[in-house]
């Protein structure tokens, strides 16, 4: 079983979408996808209503997800850890114990361009931001799914 972890700040907007999108593109008997946030603000909460809505628009149900915080033990559990933005990336690396841990962490948009782009945080914006995030993640997850 390959295990992939999607990480953003709150685990309510971007990484829940990334989790569901990638899981929809792989065989669940072969690949497990989870998500987490680097901040504790929303632990236990449902995804943001706007993420639930854009997911539903594309046929994905994310109502079963609850936010959790990224922990150092995730380095032992997961093979690939995808950060949504540079700040998440840096905060994940702060918890790494060794070079093996660090090597598991990538910026997700580097799967579709090598320029260290971040998935923009849509939390304080409007619905169009969530649509934009969905489309970026869909492209990146297609590439990831084909490599797994």
Q: How far apart are CA 128 and CA 51, in angstroms?
A: 11
Q: Quick one: 16 or 145, whose CB is closer to ligand 4NP?
A: 16
Q: List all residues 6 or more positions away from 61 whose beta carbon is below 8 Å from its beta carbon.
A: 20, 55
Q: Quick one: 28 or 135, whose CB is closer to ligand 4NP?
A: 135
Quote the tokens at residue 48.
Answer: 């943001």
Residue of 121, 130, 137, 144 interacting with ligand 4NP (CB under 6 A): 121
Least Å distance, CB 74 to ligand 4NP, is 16
Active site residue 14: yes
Quote the tokens at residue 111.
Answer: 């799967």
Least Å distance, CB 25 to ligand 4NP, is 20
Strand 31-37 relative to strand 80-83, pairing:
unpaired
23-35 burial code (b ≥16 CB/10 A, e <16): bbbbeeeebbbbb
Q: Quick one: 12 or 33, whose CB is closer to ligand 4NP?
A: 12
Q: Quick one: 12 or 144, whose CB is closer to ligand 4NP?
A: 12
Q: Which helix (H) or strand (E) holds 81?
A: strand 80-83
| Residues 3-42 close enough to bind ligand 4NP by CB under 6 A | 8-14, 37, 41
Least Å distance, CB 13 to ligand 4NP, is 3
Q: How far apart are CA 141 and CA 87, in angstroms?
A: 20
Q: Which residue among 48, 74, 85, 121 is the active-site one?
A: 121
Enumerate binding residues for ligand 4NP (CB under 6 A). Answer: 8-14, 37, 41, 121, 123
By annotation, the residues acting in catalysis are 8, 14, 121
């Amino acid at each position: 079983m390959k295990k992939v972890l999607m990480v953003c700040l709150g685990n309510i907007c971007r990484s829940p979408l990334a989790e569901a999108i990638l899981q929809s593109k792989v065989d669940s008997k072969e690949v497990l996808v989870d998500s987490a946030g680097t901040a504790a603000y929303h632990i236990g909460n449902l995804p943001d209503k706007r993420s639930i809505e854009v997911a539903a628009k594309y046929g994905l149900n994310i109502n079963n997800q609850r936010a959790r915080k990224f922990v150092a033990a995730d380095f032992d559990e997961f093979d690939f850890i995808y950060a949504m933005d540079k700040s998440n990336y840096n905060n994940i690396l702060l918890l790494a114990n060794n070079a093996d841990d660090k090597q598991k962490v990538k910026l997700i948009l580097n799967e579709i361009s090598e320029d260290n782009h971040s998935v923009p945080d849509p939390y304080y914006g409007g619905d169009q931001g969530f649509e934009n995030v969905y489309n970026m993640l869909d492209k990146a997850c297609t590439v990831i799914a084909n490599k797994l």
